[in-house]
Amino acid sequence: MREILRFQPILQTRVWGGSALQTALGRELPQGNPIGESWEIVDRQEAQSVVVGGPHQGETLRELLTHHGPAVMGPDWPAEKPFPILVKWLDCRERLSLQVHPPAGVAAELGGEPKTENWYIAHTAPGAKLIVGLKRGVTRAQFERAIVANTVEACVHHFRVAAGDSILVHSGQVHAIDAGNLILEIQQNSDTTYRVYDWGRTGLDGKPRQLHIVESLRSIDWNDFEPAPVRGAPTSGVIAECPEFRIRRCVLGAGERVHLRAGEQPRIVSVVSGTARANAEGGGTRTPFGMKVATGENVLVPFLGGFTFSAETTAILLITENFSG
Instruction: Look at residue 48 and tell me whether its pLDDT is greater than 80.
Output: yes
As a whole number, mean pLDDT of residues 229-247 equals 94
For 139-144, what is the mean pLDDT?
A: 98
Tell me, what's the pLDDT at 265? 98
Domain that includes residue 248, residue range: 237-321
* Percentage with pLDDT > 70 across the chain: 98
Per-residue pLDDT, 200: 85
Question: Distances from the Cα of 254 to the Cαs of 65, 138, 175, 320, in angstroms?
Answer: 35, 48, 37, 22
**Same-domain pairing of 166 and 29:** yes
* Residues annotated as catalytic (active site), given as ranges: 195
Split at pLDDT 50, 70, 90, the class of 155 is very high
Average pLDDT of the chain, as a whole number: 94
Strands 166-169, 85-92: pairing kind: unpaired
pLDDT at 289: 55
The whole-number pLDDT of residue 205 equals 85
The values of phi and psi at residue 318, to 5°, are -105, 130
Last residue within a domain, chosen from 219, 253, 286? 219
pLDDT value at position 325? 76
What mean pLDDT is predicted for residues 178-197?
97
Q: Are residues 174 and 308 in the same domain?
A: no
What CATH number does the domain containing 301 carry?
2.60.120.10
pLDDT band at 288 (very low <50, low <70, confident <90, very high): very low
pTM of the model: 0.95
Q: Which of 187, 219, 251 is the last residue of a domain?
A: 219
- Looking at residue 204, its pLDDT comes to 80
- Give, in order, the Cα–Cα distances in Å from 226 to each of 132, 174, 223: 7, 11, 10
What total number of domains does the chain contain? Answer: 2
Q: What are phi and psi of 196, to 5 degrees?
A: -105, -20
Going by the DSSP 8-state scheme, the letter that residue 190 receives in this structure is -
- Mean pLDDT for 242-257 is 97
* pLDDT, tens digit (0-9, with 9 covering 90-100), for 120-133: 999 999 999 999 99
- Do 212 and 284 belong to one domain? no
Same domain? 100 vs 168: yes
With respect to residue 266, please indicate whether it lies within any of the assigned structural domains.
Answer: yes
- pLDDT for 71-112, tens place per residue? 999 999 999 999 999 999 999 999 999 999 999 999 999 999
Q: Are residues 47 and 186 in the same domain?
A: yes
Q: Report yes or no: 306 and 253 within 8 Å, Cβ to Cβ.
A: no
